[in-house]
Amino acid sequence: MGVTSENGTTQAARTLLLLLLLRGPFVGALLNGVCWRRRKFTPDHRPIGLDMAATGSQTRQLPTTLDDENFAKRLRSSYGAAALGAARRYHEFGIQLAQYLDRVAFLSRCMNVRLIPKNYKLQNEHVQSTAKVTTILMKYSKKLMKVDLDHNRLRKEQVEKNLERLMYKMKKIIKCRDDLKLIHSICHRDHEVELKKLQKVSRAEFRELLAQYRKPVKYTDLAFSDEERPKDTDSSTTDSE
């Protein structure tokens, strides 16, 4: 009976010694690894856009708009209202950028080929239409176009900077890269759709102006080219006022 007790005490001492030896970086790393794996795969830490789990064998599809109710709710609950607000502003600025890009390209092409769109063509029905009056009206119609082109260029640059700032902000708030990529993908797609829609209209207007002013057919290619800086063809005739 005494031998059994002594053996038991010895075995307990050995076990305690073994546990003391095992305590250290290895055990700590092992325990931390287990905790990290559990944290990683819990529903609260999955990418909200890519969490496709659903009842049965069915899966949810990725949201295609920031107005998706479930996506917006989960984005807000996971990262806060600031994340959802930043994402929506990013989308809004993307649409604005498409508008300014199209306007800058259209006005640049018109000025390069010396076309004046109807909205910029100054007229005065109460003044006798002499050659000099026509020249003055044409001159200031071009100046009006140039001022509006400069304004659209400035706004385009401002919107681009706003997009950069918002992306930087979202990277700090939205830690999951998959969620950030999903937001960027939705915004970029809508930007491209808006830009193509605007380009279709502006290119048709450009062709009509070419026909109206009887410009060579070769200028039609400008409707599909990148923006070119306008040439100041009236610099020699500009008034000093």
pLDDT tens digits for range 42-98: 333 445 554 433 444 345 578 889 988 898 998 999 999 999 999 999 999 999 999
Residue 222: inside a domain: no
Residue 95: inside a domain: yes
CA distance linking residue 106 with residue 64, whole number of Å: 30
| Domain coverage including residue 95 | 66-214
Residue 232 sits at the vertex; the CA angle it makes with 195 and 113, to the nearest 5 degrees, is 55
Residue 234: inside a domain: no
Judged against a pLDDT cut of 90, whether residue 229 lies above it is answered with no
The tokens for 30 are 């092992």
pLDDT tens digits for range 8-26: 566 666 665 555 554 554 4
Residue 115: inside a domain: yes
Q: How far is CA 124 from CA 36, 37, 134, in A?
A: 76, 76, 10
Number of domains in the chain: 1
pLDDT of residue 68: 87
Residue 231: inside a domain: no
- Are 96 and 159 in contact by the 8 Å Cβ rule? The answer is yes
Q: Is-above-0.85 flag for pTM?
A: no
Residue 43: inside a domain: no
Residue 33: inside a domain: no
What single string gives the DSSP state of each residue in 157-186?
Answer: HHHHHHHHHHHHHHHHH---HHHHHHHHHH
User: Dihedral of the CA atoms 85, 91, 92, 97 (nearest 10)?
Assistant: 140
